[in-house]
Structure 1
Amino acid sequence: MEPQLLHGVTDSVATVVVRNPAKRNAMTAAMWAALPPLLDALAGDPGVRALVLAGEGGTFCAGADISTLQGSPVEAQRLAVAAEEALAAFPRPTLAAVRGHCVGGGAQLAAACDLRFAEQGALFGVTPARLGIVYPASATRRLVSLVGPATAKYLLFSGELIDAERALRTGLVDEVLPEGELGKRVAEFTRILASRSQLTQAAAKEFANGRTDRDAHWDEQARTSGDPAEGVAAFLERRPPRFTWTTATSG
């Protein structure tokens, strides 16, 4: 089976699956290059309200395919950073569903998602020190924002793997599920995400990611969207809200 990124949309949730079973779902250069345009296409689909990133089978992603680093490691890293930034910039909520190894470039992708749910037994590692590679500044800052400087240094300096429970304690993951329960919980939680206000989510994502120069924009969106009035009315009438704002209408 050729290494590839599989994707589909079900019930307003897009799923992207990393598939390279011969190398524990390691990302090839072609897969890194394919991710940004795939994300652009999914972002352009108004029916997509959340995105899940997963690995095929029992492994999330074992990192970059090391054989692709031999020719031009700088170019390989450029492709990885572009993919990471495209994932971080996806306009709707993103969630990494992690089973097994989430290492190197896999951890880089997981950290670029908004949320990370892991199955017990998952292992996480940031491993450039094993290869003498300088970890990208953007990825380092993102890791520090999740786990703090001390844990980021531990991971980066040592290249050691940590288990899901330690990842949960340090903030690298948001939930740890018993074996066999991850898929059910991810489906349940993404249904919740898809039912909530995209206006709230989009503004919160920008603010949480450090962008603070568009307060006026979001104030205007709140005034003109009708979503706040609909949310209050639905609450008082004890019915599910029918939010209409989407990223496509934001201007």
Structure 2
Amino acid sequence: MDFKFLIYEKEGYVSRVTLNRPKVLNALNSEVFDEIGRAMDLAAADDGVHAVVITGGEKVFAAGADIAEMATADPVSVYKFGETAQGALNKVENLPKPVIAAINGYALGGGCELALACDIRIAGESAKIGLPEINLGIFPGAGGTQRLPRLVGAARAKELMFTGDMIDAARAEKIGLVNQVVPDGEVLSTAVKLAARMAQKGAVAMAMLKTAINQGLATDLASGLNIERQCFSLLFATEDQKEGMQAFMEKRKPEFKGR
């Protein structure tokens, strides 16, 4: 599959999606969001991909939505843009495989929202993260108003979105916005190593685990427990479950087949 604004690579069981609009700091327009969605479709359909890393390269993750595209937009075109953006990020969030954001430099606006849709966020020490849309007379429209409060709590999310302030990586880690802060030169390698570790786990169990967490968070506790029970039970029809438990009893490393 050809991409104009992304680089899609695969090494072992890990695919790497690199945003590639360096002249505009990886600004996210409708074409980029569409390509992100197509990249997730590609990863979902490939049984040889067990985990995904999304990066913007060594200097910037993504500095936000493409304001040049949005400045003269009308409500109808913005609604369509929102459908494209939210649709793409929903595919990131619901990909039945772990997705890790490797954040260097700025992750602002739509770039922050892309990171929020990932399962894990690794940030460089000099990363700057924020949702500054309020300073433009708008607010986050690609999932930020929904995903950020679920991640860091409503009060902290409101503070970030109401002020539009950027925060550094240390603050982001403290409030739970990122999982880990590492030296700038180690962001991508750390993310890839973590993805490779996750890729060695049982692919079916990983998919069911992600489903149980994501769907459970979107409902009440009783319903979430029911989702968990169903997903957990289904795993006992898989070869991987039998192999995993047999390997444990035989004190050896399991050889999962993803079925």
- Could you state the TM-score of these two structures normalised by the residue count of structure 2? 0.88
Q: Percent identity?
A: 33
Residue by residue over 1:178-237, the C-alpha shift from the partner in whole angstroms, topping out at 9 and shown as x without a partner, is 232222222221111011122332222122213436446424422210323322222333
Matched, 1:160 2:197: no
Aligned to 2:60: 59
Aligned to 2:220: none
Aligned to 2:28: 27
CA contact (8 A) 1:17 1:54 kept: yes
Indicate the SS of the match to 1:181. Answer: helix
Matched, 1:224 2:237: yes
CA contact (8 A) 1:25 1:56 kept: no
Aligned to 1:249: none
Q: Distance in 2 between matches of 1:196 and 1:25?
A: 32
CA contact (8 A) 1:3 1:28 kept: no
Q: How many residue pairs get matched?
A: 245
Matched, 1:203 2:216: no
Residue by residue over 1:75-97, the C-alpha shift from the partner in whole angstroms, topping out at 9 and shown as x without a partner, is 33332212211211111000000
Taking only aligned residues, the RMSD between alpha carbons, in angstroms, comes to 1.9
Match 2:253 to one of 211, 235, 240:
240
Residue by residue over 1:21-80, the C-alpha shift from the partner in whole angstroms, topping out at 9 and shown as x without a partner, is 111111122111222122112210000000000003310000111101024233333322
Matched, 1:12 2:13: yes
Aligned to 2:69: 68
Kindly state the Cα deviation for residue 153 of structure 1 after the two structures are TM-superposed: 0.6
CA contact (8 A) 1:3 1:20 kept: no
Q: Could you say if the C-alpha distance between residues 222 and 156 of structure 1 is closer, same or farther in structure 2, counting changes exceeding 3 Å?
A: same
Kindly state the Cα deviation for residue 124 of structure 1 after the two structures are TM-superposed: 0.2
Q: Distance in 1 between matches of 2:172 and 2:193?
A: 22
Q: Could you say if the C-alpha distance between residues 45 and 102 of structure 1 is closer, same or farther in structure 2, counting changes exceeding 3 Å?
A: same
Unmatched segments (≥5 aa) in structure 1: 247-251
CA contact (8 A) 2:61 2:111 kept: yes
Q: Could you say if the C-alpha distance between residues 99 and 138 of structure 1 is closer, same or farther in structure 2, counting changes exceeding 3 Å?
A: closer
Indicate the SS of the match to 2:170. Answer: helix
Amino acid at match of 2:144: A
Matched, 1:80 2:76: no
Residue by residue over 1:84-140, the C-alpha shift from the partner in whole angstroms, topping out at 9 and shown as x without a partner, is 112111110000000000000000000000000011100000122011223338432
Match 1:135 to one of 111, 132, 140:
140
Q: Could you list the runs of 4 or more consecutive aligned residues of structure 1 that deviate by over 6 angstroms after TM superposition?
A: none
Q: Distance in 1 between matches of 2:71 and 2:249?
A: 62
Q: Could you say if the C-alpha distance between residues 194 and 35 of structure 1 is closer, same or farther in structure 2, counting changes exceeding 3 Å?
A: same
Indicate the SS of the match to 2:184. Answer: coil
- Could you state the TM-score of these two structures normalised by the residue count of structure 1? 0.90
Amino acid at match of 2:238: S
Q: Distance in 2 between matches of 1:67 and 1:173?
A: 29
Amino acid at match of 2:194: F
Segment drifting more, 71-80 vs 224-233 = 71-80
Amino acid at match of 1:132: G
